[in-house]
Structure 1
């Protein structure tokens, strides 16, 4: 049995303790200069660990130990320390681990390991360069750059082998590019891409290590010797610090960051700290909150305008990058960014010798303070207009994601005044610098904040009592002169919207038609098409408020025909039945939505459209005799609702706006104009109109007039003569107004009758059509149908259908409305004149 196994006796622990004591005593004796005793003599096996059959084993081991004693006598006095037999390579395991004792383990530091790894990568690059394997060179060079970046992070010096590799790679890349240019056979596509990538990387890296490369070129041996020279630690002598009585109590302490590194800044150190912070921007483990705090500390230590501008540009960018994945920017960060943008504009205005531009031709050292020469200008790379636009966009996003029915939305909306002031300051700055493109963009931002607001709100924003129309006109005129077609289009639409909001229908309509936007709006972006739809809707409401019922109905019809009013106005996402949106598409749709305070009330819009359709459709239905012509509707949405109401067996009291209008339409058909008026005026949605009382009076007057027309169309077949005074009394209209309406109907061939002024009566004429006349009228109607069908087919072929242009759902409202509408009205007038003539004969 091997001596490494022992019995589980109670005295095993004590025996092992005795053997350890003997080992210690033997070590003490060896330290006194005496020859080391043999291992067997210093460490005899305890008798308590032996078994009965181990006598022979012990005798054999003693003979071997005795032979080993003679050898140990000839050895020098210094013997190696005794190791425990229970360890590998100990006294009892010489045969098993003798080979392991010959191998010496070398422990390398992390610095040496990194140096070896850099050396290996450098050799791999050299080998790949010999066979022109640029893909491998590109990959290995990326690994090498990551290692060097790791060295810079821990504060170590760049090894000479890296500089030597850069030097050789530069010449290799240049030679390869020259050969490729002269060679007739082109390089493989992947190798060519890798070579071009190496060219760009080498250009960037060589610029960063320009000083080291120059030193290496001058004397490579001295450069490597300088790296290998030992650096003796310098122990600073700390002198007792004398704190003056004027120094503050906290002057002994310095702000430190991670790892105890001091964050103190001042003088030229400002730009170095700024460069370090910018290098860490966007990296994986960078804490953006700490980065903002460091930039604030750097800004507090700045003393020159140049340093303040540089730090503010970086600080504002860090604010906007704080949480890019969030739906909107936190309110405290937004307020801080607004203050810093105002500080930046204020600093630039106070120091006109400094100018911030997106494109700066000259290169400059960002680590050195720059001061303007007498009469000169210092150009700083950056952008102010982008910060202003981003601030405005974040404000809109916050309004999109806040509940509009709570107090938080109102509190957030109060910040618009400060944002508007910032935009005005930016406009004044760009005007002073005569920068045309940023000036046009900031004017467009200012215009978007005021074009859709009433005069009182705009005057509150402007803090002035001047004319709002003159202000908007001046802004739009400036945008009309820009080269940017998108800004010109949006300026025209904003100008038209403002005129329509102020009930200037004819001015807005003429400006809208002269711009020819209906012909080109399908090529615009989605946001501009949304603005176009809003202008169409506001024009229709303006016509309705002005009493122009036919114009209002024809204008609003294009929007309501699509049955997607909220989607076209960006006031809601339309859920289609058989199509599903991807998360990206749904996110894009929600980002297009307008804030709640800019919404146009769709219920008010629907009420205006249905009432206008009622006043146009009901007299037209009464004037048509044949059922085939009655099926041709001017307003299909209204006719659909009217047919549905006619099919109802039981009709209860009206509840919604549609119920009121449908029951009013039936009353108007029956000649009950008073009931129709009461139902229309009882709609509560009219309270949202700016001039509610005048709108209701206008509706009552138009209902009386259309009620008279409907009555004449319906009962003309049953009367020979009709008293004008009776008509005046029945419809509560002045006799002069009744005479005017009837004369207009006779002039337009809508009514086959004549006026007898002496008797004060209306005389109706009747004539039975011959068979030839009936066939001619039928042929004319069929020809009109054929022309209309051909025009529809032509429109589909020329415009590519309703979904042409890829924008799909946003260009349904355009499409040559003016020309086709005029043609339809002309054909309708010819048909009505034909019918009137047939009745008059």
Structure 2
């Protein structure tokens, strides 16, 4: 009301108001015209609010990570969890429940940081107690929380170079802000009208009041003129003036933002319309740049220019956020350009070598397997390299050639690179591919079919290396060939009527290994060649050649100093050598080869065919990862059940006759500890049912042999179940079963003689032959051998074909008495040794327990009494 009283309608009031300054309340500023300064209210969506909250917490976590503050990082992580829970409804609505990429990136970065700090034991020891405790708690909570985002994390790790979702949001918001700034900057340039601003028509409820006030038009025009002039002066004073330089800078900033969004494949239609550009389809995936032009249109393309461009492309290798796929495409295009201009095969070879190196770099993690499609491209490029080298005898590819000495235009061509290293890495990637697949799936079979390609490629590389390489390089190439050959059975090697000139795998292995024996400069290649050669001989039942080669090499003495892969190959060779000895009927040799491997209880780990579950802190994650990388592919595995069965049967055929011969011997030793423990565990059972597993069959057969029942023993070892599980897996299964039947009869006969010889006065060899279904000559040979070795006290009567027993063996009572006497003797010896150790105590004045001391005689020790007694005996002898 004071405003209306102060500004009356009469002229007196106007003059007085000009002369006297009346204090007025500040009137609200209304802006009804476009030339007035607009105060725009920013309305943010719920998504922006929640995402900004998440980004702020993530920023604080990154700051904590820089200073290694795990306590603060733990608190921020818990706050991040709560903030994500609050934003879950927005994420569910806007992103269909998929976590935003910047959030997943923060989780991955935090997980990598925590894992690295946890694995660095030295830094953990140097931490404070609170920081270390916070690290442990943060690690546990992060692992538990990250399980909810496993799929998103895996997808992120496949393409970590993709831009985050918030980049688009920031670019959009920044472009909007820039547009607003541009509008604001353009507003001062608008020419103002001298007319006063028009007020909007009054509302219905205010119309009556405005009518009653009755203010004149002259007053309103003058007051509005003053207000407009004052507002314009104020705005011009504080508003930033726009210059041509500012316009140029703003235009450059907008263009940079548009280019950044175009690289991310998210350029808007409006921006493209402003630039006058064309639409381009951008593939989904890694962040890609525009396809650069390789050369200018009017440039003269030659080998030097292509090599220079190749250097520019290769310079980006290993840099952060380098698009590896784009590099491969650039190399492919460069190779196409070189081929179109006929720049020569030497340049093509160099470009192929660069492509192979880029394919190896495509997989960022060395431990992970390469994708099958890129591995196929790798094989194709290496194959093209070999084709070029075989076609040009005057072309050399070597690492010893420097880039300055390369000859790519004129012969003799010299190119820098190493074909053998590429082949070795390709072979290793093939092994990784096989280990990544499920061995019981069709995918493994499909991947295994590629071994034909790898073997053929190795043969072709061997031709190139034999022509141009040094002897050591030839040895490396031959060893790769041996690695794909030594474990394969060649049925032609068993046949005797081979066509002339045909080379079997045995002859090929002998040729390759002999070259390595003669020319290898490092012991590792020679050692692996010897072990592979022994393995291949044993696989084809060449027992004597394999045994002699092992004994001449003396590998048993030095193999523990070799690298883990060579030790694994040694274990595989000894296992296969034991199987070969068993197939040939050499039970003792088979047991000796398998004993060291099976007695540890870890044949699966020693043969690199899997990892056994370990207790906590017994194997770290790094050790487990390294051991998994050393595992053998599934098609190279040795059947562990077959190994264990052969070992137990061999131990049974050796241990049971020995136990029967030394039943009452107190100093009897165990030949096979594992077999002995299984047998004792079976004997301790109150109720023994029919055998089910392979181990139970072997133990039941041993108990039957101990009774002399060879038929039951043979039935436990050779039956349908055991044939399907074990014996049918061997080459020549019928011969193996026949050999087992013969050995079981012979050892059962020896066990029977050891056990029941004291019952008989004489034994008929013919009756023994009929009882054990053996030829009489064989029974005669066995009994004679036992008599010669003094295992059986008897003599042979040839006319009657009987074995006359001399009954010199002690009876059961006598044997027990002798055993008791031995134990008592051992006890006496141990007591005397203990008594001699305590002699010093008696010399210091001690007396045996139970002996009294004479008070009138000075104390004398055990030594003093012995000297006194000796003097007394001497005096008596002198008197006599």
TM over 0.5: yes
Aligned equivalent of 1:604 = 642
Give 1:754's match in structure 2, choosing from 782, 790, 795.
Answer: 795
Distance in 1 (CA, whole Å) between partners of 2:189 and 2:489 is 104
Unaligned runs of 5+ in 2: 1-21, 37-186, 203-209, 254-259, 264-287, 495-500, 831-880
Distance in 1 (CA, whole Å) between partners of 2:199 and 2:409 is 94
Kept in 2, the 8 Å contact 1:641–1:662? The answer is yes
Aligned equivalent of 2:321 = 285
Normalised TM-score (structure 2):
0.60
Distance in 2 (CA, whole Å) between partners of 1:311 and 1:485 is 35
Cα distance change on mapping 1:382 and 1:86 into 2, 3 Å? farther
Distance in 2 (CA, whole Å) between partners of 1:544 and 1:648 is 31
Name the SS of the counterpart of 2:231 in structure 1.
coil
Alignment of 1:68-107 (within 5 A): 85-86=230-231, 89-90=234-235, 107=246
Give 1:727's match in structure 2, choosing from 760, 768, 776.
Answer: 768
Cα RMSD between the aligned structures?
4.3
Give 1:659's match in structure 2, choosing from 678, 696, 708.
Answer: 696
Give 1:408's match in structure 2, choosing from 443, 451, 464.
Answer: 443
Aligned equivalent of 2:836 = none
Q: Per chain length, whose mean CA-contact separation is higher, i.e. which structure has more relative contact order (CA < 8 Å, sep 6+)? A: 1
Distance in 2 (CA, whole Å) between partners of 1:319 and 1:609 is 47
Cα distance change on mapping 1:762 and 1:361 into 2, 3 Å? same
Is 1:697 aligned to 2:738, yes or no?
yes
Distance in 2 (CA, whole Å) between partners of 1:479 and 1:705 is 44
How far the C-alpha of 1:294 sits from its partner, in A, is 1.9
Distance in 2 (CA, whole Å) between partners of 1:590 and 1:597 is 16
Distance in 2 (CA, whole Å) between partners of 1:321 and 1:629 is 65
How far the C-alpha of 1:458 sits from its partner, in A, is 9.6
Aligned equivalent of 1:470 = 507
Name the SS of the counterpart of 1:356 in structure 2.
strand
Aligned equivalent of 1:646 = 683
Aligned equivalent of 2:525 = 487
Distance in 1 (CA, whole Å) between partners of 2:233 and 2:551 is 99
Kept in 1, the 8 Å contact 2:577–2:593? The answer is yes
Aligned equivalent of 1:262 = 293
Aligned equivalent of 2:359 = 319
Distance in 2 (CA, whole Å) between partners of 1:675 and 1:388 is 56
Distance in 1 (CA, whole Å) between partners of 2:345 and 2:718 is 65
Cα distance change on mapping 1:44 and 1:322 into 2, 3 Å? closer
Cα distance change on mapping 1:724 and 1:110 into 2, 3 Å? farther
Cα distance change on mapping 1:729 and 1:349 into 2, 3 Å? same
Aligned equivalent of 2:661 = 623
Distance in 1 (CA, whole Å) between partners of 2:374 and 2:33 is 73
Kept in 1, the 8 Å contact 2:369–2:433? The answer is yes
Distance in 1 (CA, whole Å) between partners of 2:190 and 2:337 is 70
Alignment of 1:67-466 (within 5 A): 85-86=230-231, 89-90=234-235, 107=246, 258-259=289-290, 261-263=292-294, 266-268=301-303, 269-302=305-338, 303=342, 304-325=344-365, 327-361=368-402, 363-364=404-405, 370-373=408-411, 377-456=412-491, 465-466=502-503
Distance in 1 (CA, whole Å) between partners of 2:188 and 2:702 is 118
Name the SS of the counterpart of 2:396 in structure 1.
strand
Q: Deviations over 1:461-489 (max 9, x none)?
A: xxx94222111001001111210210000
Kept in 2, the 8 Å contact 1:345–1:429? The answer is yes
* Aligned length, in residue pairs: 588
Q: Deviations over 1:89-139 (max 9, x none)?
A: 447x6xxx69x99x999759779x99xxxxxxxxxxxxxxxxxxxxxxxxx
Distance in 2 (CA, whole Å) between partners of 1:698 and 1:479 is 37
Is 1:718 aligned to 2:759, yes or no?
yes
Distance in 2 (CA, whole Å) between partners of 1:435 and 1:515 is 25
Normalised TM-score (structure 1):
0.63
Distance in 2 (CA, whole Å) between partners of 1:599 and 1:25 is 84
Is 1:676 aligned to 2:716, yes or no?
no
Distance in 2 (CA, whole Å) between partners of 1:317 and 1:24 is 60
How far the C-alpha of 1:290 sits from its partner, in A, is 2.1
Give 1:571's match in structure 2, choosing from 609, 619, 637.
Answer: 609
Distance in 2 (CA, whole Å) between partners of 1:672 and 1:775 is 28
Give 1:557's match in structure 2, choosing from 595, 604, 609.
Answer: 595
Distance in 1 (CA, whole Å) between partners of 2:644 and 2:572 is 14
Distance in 1 (CA, whole Å) between partners of 2:800 and 2:291 is 110
Kept in 2, the 8 Å contact 1:15–1:46? The answer is no
Unaligned runs of 5+ in 1: 18-22, 30-41, 66-81, 115-149, 154-256, 787-841
How far the C-alpha of 1:322 sits from its partner, in A, is 1.7
Alignment of 1:6-85 (within 5 A): 6=27, 13=32, 85=230
Q: Deviations over 1:177-203 (max 9, x none)?
A: xxxxxxxxxxxxxxxxxxxxxxxxxxx
Kept in 1, the 8 Å contact 2:535–2:573? The answer is yes
Is 1:744 aligned to 2:768, yes or no?
no
